[in-house]
Structure 1
């Protein structure tokens, strides 16, 4: 049994399959999930687990070379915007509609229990070397 890091076997396995350039959508409970990408649904109850908890857990295990979020997060969810700005100094912003389109090309979707608007980010995997 693993003693540290991500313990969810479905998520840990999905992360091990990612490569350079693959997309990972970390989303709130309300984000429409496109057909195609593998989905690991962690949502348990409203707010559990939170977007921040899941994002930080993923960032501890992934190399991320870029991130995209919805422009609307700045107005509708300042707390999530502050979190994203703190984690990604070069955060790209697109419309929420465009983010939904881009999420269809993700390799993995990780759904959280977050119940606040626009708490979504599309990560682009990098390499450690």
Structure 2
């Protein structure tokens, strides 16, 4: 049995399959997932599971370099923004237009995880990073400034 707290086999596989810079979207129940994208559908009923229930174990098991979300969330869903900022506190935050998430970003995602969330603008984009202390730990290797801050 797995030692970590993430028990969903598909989600564990998706995280293990991510490379540096790959995009994973954790979306609400109404997100238009392209038919060609790897989909992990966790939705059961409205708000089951909710975004925080899905994001928390992902945050604990996924090295997230950057997090994007709809610009609209800053004004129209501050409670969700606070959860995202708390869960991914070490990541860069880069808001983008909601229309861009629904179109271009959905097509670029390696995997999209659908929740049961009924959360306005509840689509969170997670960009895979690297374990900086592990990656730059060999003698003579010097981390660039961007990564040195994360050492």
Q: What whole-Å deviation, never above 9, does each CA across 1:65-95 have from its counterpart, x for those lacking one?
A: 1011001112221211222233346311111
Query: Per-residue deviation at 1:2?
Result: 2.5
Which 4+ stretches in 1 moved above 6 angstroms?
Answer: none
The alignment status of 1:122 with 2:147, answered yes or no, reads no
TM-score by length of 2: 0.79
Per mean C-alpha deviation after superposition, the further-off stretch among 81-90 and 14-23 is 81-90
Match of 1:93, SS?
coil
Structure 1 residues not aligned, in runs of 5+: none
Please provide the CA RMSD for this pair.
1.5
Query: Per-residue deviation at 1:3?
Result: 4.8
Equivalents in 1 of 2:34, 2:78: separation in Å?
26
Match of 1:94, SS?
coil
Residues 94, 48 of structure 1: CA spacing in aligned structure 2 closer, same or farther, 3 A cutoff? same
Match for residue 146 of structure 2? none
> Which has the bigger relative contact order, CA under 8 A and spacing at least 6?
1
Larger strand proportion of the pair: 1
Alignment equivalent of 2:116, drawn from 110, 113, 116: 113
Equivalents in 2 of 1:66, 1:76: separation in Å?
21
Counterparts of residues 1-129 of structure 1 (less than 5 Å): 1-86=1-86, 87-88=88-89, 90-100=92-102, 101-128=104-131, 129=135
Q: What whole-Å deviation, never above 9, does each CA across 1:1-39 have from its counterpart, x for those lacking one?
A: 325321111111122111111100011111111233211
Contact 2:65–2:92, Cα closer than 8 Å, also in 1? no
Larger helix proportion of the pair: 2
